[in-house]
Structure 1
């Protein structure tokens, strides 16, 4: 089942049911639309509402959810390298894959830093730091029924941009 929750006219949060093996970029995306986990990414490149929509599933890293790369497609949903470095601590499935070497841990280019956790990244991008959904035990901000079913998604095997 695939659904989306728009954040603005360009960006939104997409839910993808995907059981395939996880893939991840070598490092957090750079370029025109850098990974929001990077501290050097322009603040506000993604609307605060996108971070609010994603908060409930990311405040504890899962527990079994996967945070996709912003340059992914539903047909090719690689994991976010920044999330793997800083936000997947509480996801036991991902941690097992990292420990076993099945999923390689991304690296950071010299001088690149990522935010320490999801709440820190979201607040840096305009989300109210008092939003309970950002923190463990916090209340969700949206109900699942707020998701809009996707009726048509382009099924493409295109590689992600040079950023991913």
Structure 2
């Protein structure tokens, strides 16, 4: 049985943005990047740099937290397709999700112009390339 999502942290990331951390299992995952996906190169600059600083830990080696789709919201939260395509290779929660069948190999959009990595996406959105928060990103 899935644990219900519970908000455990809300961090402001600019005057009109925030990063919400939710505990509990995500409801599902997006099968393709949404139109406003921050992983799409064309959307660089749509979100403040602080949002990418807050979410950088999703790209750390053996991370247990995932980058969720901002368009799905938190009830229910869904894992971002762009993240699954480009930023989740070293994420422990995602690796376990593939092993247990939570995620399948049905995410499309690899041919879209996506940032190559979390670090590339964060830098394109104003995070300094030498910001310490990006050092552990894979």
TM-score (norm 1): 0.70
RMSD: 2.1
Runs of 4+ in 1 over 3 A off after TM superposition: 99-102
Distance in 2 between the 1:84 and 1:17 partners? 19
Aligned: 1:58 with 2:58 = yes
User: Quick check: which one's helix share is greater?
Assistant: 2
Q: Answer whether contact 1:68 1:77 (CA < 8 A) is retained.
A: yes
| Higher relative contact order (CA closer than 8 Å, sequence separation 6+) | 1
Distance in 1 between the 2:82 and 2:25 partners? 21
Distance in 2 between the 1:11 and 1:72 partners? 15
Specify the structure having the higher radius of gyration (Cα): 1
Distance in 2 between the 1:13 and 1:93 partners? 19
Choose which of 7, 10, 20 in structure 2 pairs with 1:4: 10
User: Quick check: which one's strand share is greater?
Assistant: 2
| Structure 2 match to 1:115 | 115
Q: Unaligned regions of 5+ residues in structure 2, if any?
A: 1-6
Q: Unaligned regions of 5+ residues in structure 1, if any?
A: 138-164
